[in-house]
């Protein structure tokens, strides 16, 4: 591919045969794009171009991460490997990277999943019996409403947010299918079923764990997009470095390490120590406080089987006698999931805007 062909692509918009990215996305995202092109009409990925409503802007790629290595890692995820060509190219004094992929005769899978292009979107092709974007609520209408809302949140989202929402959608399907034990009497009352009480705690704890995972994954995307944000005076051990297969794997590991403060319930502490999230200015003090309260419920469910202790009373001083079981009806859990998903939507939009993250 020569410079004239590249210039022609830069002036175009995303389509069924063209993907433009301002920054280097994770290898898994590249793998999904390659598979979707190979399974449709073939196409080109051009990295280092910022999509604008008027005219696209040539930004260039940072030299801190090597697109060749990440592309090879993406290709290793594909079965069978499609016919591709890729290389760096200089445009307007800046370094871009292109990947061309042809149409495959057979289906190309990404770790067993089938992706296709639908217009400019990369979508997983539903398998037989896969969940629909909509869901008919069988016992509690709010579950169906939230299902539609969370699917709507998927538009223009990072890979981290899409993964987060898939988890919440799975949780809602469980709420819908297991109403007999999760809310046998009423969704407005805590379940009287012993197994249902245990499952409620597990599902809520998992939902809050998923919020932590989202932030870790988002940090990873930011580090790849803006490698300079990773640079600091913080020390790492040689063992930590050698335990990672490559630089990208180390960055993923380091992003997970950054979640330590959050796991202790300190949202404010996490934001203070992670400039990448702090600079987004996405969360108000009140929202930070509410998230800390939700994490305290998660801690209680995960480590105390829901039995109220003195630490919990510091966050919830009224209405929860010590050594009693904390229980929530499904209606309240749904409201909390909606709140957290709304917070994630705010953070994600701010991160996309500030760091030009891939969507």
Domains and CATH numbers, the chain: 3-124 (3.30.950.30), 141-355 (no CATH)
Which residues, 6 or more positions from 83, have their beta carbon under 8 angstroms from its beta carbon? 101, 102, 104
Q: What is the mean pLDDT of the chain?
A: 87
pLDDT score recorded for residue 220: 83
pLDDT score recorded for residue 178: 92
Distance, CA of 312 to chain centre = 29
| Mean pLDDT lowest among 36-45, 74-83, 217-226, 331-340 | 217-226
Mean pLDDT in residue range 306-319: 92
CA distance 168 to 200: 14
pLDDT-derived band of residue 138, with 50, 70 and 90 as boundaries? low
Q: Is the predicted pLDDT of residue 24 greater than 60, yes or no?
A: yes
Mean pLDDT for 11-30 is 90
- 141-200 pLDDT tens trace: 899 999 999 999 988 888 899 899 999 999 999 999 999 999 999 999 999 999 999 999
Residue 217: per-residue pLDDT? 87
Provide mean pLDDT across the span 234-263: 69
What is the average per-residue pLDDT within 270-277?
Answer: 82
Region of 92 on the Ramachandran plot (φ > 0 left; ψ -120 to 50 alpha; else beta): left
Helix pair 194-225, 330-355: axis angle to 10 deg? 0
- Residue 166 gets the label, from left (phi > 0), alpha (psi -120 to 50) or beta, of alpha
Among 23-32, 57-66, 73-82, 121-130, the range scoring the smallest mean pLDDT is 121-130
| Token output for 87 | 């290389």
* pLDDT for position 127: 54
pLDDT band at 130; cut points 50, 70, 90: very low
Split at pLDDT 50, 70, 90, the class of 22 is confident
Handedness of CA 104, 107, 111, 116 (dihedral sign): positive
* Short-list 206, 216, 197, CA closest to 172: 206
CB 216 within 8 A of CB 256: yes
CA quadruple 198, 204, 207, 208: dihedral sign: negative
What kind and span of H or E run contains 254?
helix 247-257
Residue indicated by tokens 């039995």: 307
User: Hey, what are 344's tokens?
Assistant: 């994630």
Percent of the chain with pLDDT over 90: 58
Whether the bond between 138 and the residue before it is cis, its omega within 30 degrees of 0, is no
DSSP letter (8 states) at residue 130 = P
Would you say residue 219 has pLDDT above 90? Answer: no
Per-residue pLDDT at 263 exceeds 80:
no
Q: Which of 4-13, 197-206, 263-272, 289-298 shows the lowest mean pLDDT across its residues?
A: 263-272
The whole-number pLDDT of residue 181 equals 95
Highest averaged pLDDT of the listed ranges 50-64, 225-239, 312-326, 329-343: 329-343
Q: Can you give the pLDDT at residue 129?
A: 46
* Cβ–Cβ under 8 Å, residues 300 and 307: yes
Give the largest CA-CA distance in the chain. 72
* Run of H or E including 59: none
């Amino acid at each position: 591919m020569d410079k004239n062909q590249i210039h022609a692509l830069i002036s175009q918009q995303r389509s069924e045969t063209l993907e433009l990215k301002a920054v280097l996305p994770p290898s898994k995202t590249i793998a999904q794009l390659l598979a979707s092109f190979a399974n449709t009409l073939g196409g080109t990925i051009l990295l280092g171009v910022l999509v604008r409503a008027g005219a696209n802007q040539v930004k260039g790629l940072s030299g801190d991460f090597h697109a060749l290595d990440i592309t090879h890692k993406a290709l290793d995820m594909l079965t069978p490997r499609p016919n591709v060509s890729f290389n760096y190219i200089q445009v307007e004094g800046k370094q871009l990277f292109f990947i061309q992929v042809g149409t495959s005769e057979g289906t190309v899978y990404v770790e067993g999943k089938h992706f296709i292009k639908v217009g400019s979107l990369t979508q997983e092709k539903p398998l037989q019996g896969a969940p629909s974007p909509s869901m008919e609520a069988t016992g509690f209408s709010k579950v169906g409403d939230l299902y539609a809302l969370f699917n709507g949140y998927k538009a223009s989202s990072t890979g981290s947010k899409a993964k987060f929402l898939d988890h919440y959608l799975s949780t809602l399907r469980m709420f819908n299918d297991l109403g007999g034990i999760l809310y046998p009497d009423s969704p407005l009352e805590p379940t009287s079923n012993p197994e249902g009480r245990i499952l409620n705690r597990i599902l809520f704890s998992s939902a809050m764990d998923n919020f932590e995972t989202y932030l870790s994954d988002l940090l990873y995307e930011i580090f790849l997009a803006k490698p300079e944000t990773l640079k600091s005076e913080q020390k790492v051990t040689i063992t930590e470095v050698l335990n990672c297969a490559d630089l990208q794997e180390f960055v993923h590991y380091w992003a997970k390490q950054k979640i330590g403060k959050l796991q202790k319930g300190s949202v404010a502490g996490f934001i203070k120590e992670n400039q990448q999230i702090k600079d987004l200015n996405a969360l108000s003090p009140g929202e930070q406080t509410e998230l800390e309260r939700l994490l305290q419920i998660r801690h209680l469910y995960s480590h105390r089987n829901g039995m109220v202790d003195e630490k919990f009373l510091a966050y919830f001083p009224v209405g929860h006698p010590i050594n009693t079981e904390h229980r929530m009806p499904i209606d309240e859990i749904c409201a909390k999931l909606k709140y957290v998903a709304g917070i994630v939507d705010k953070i994600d939009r701010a991160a996309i805007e500030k760091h030009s993250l891939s969507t």
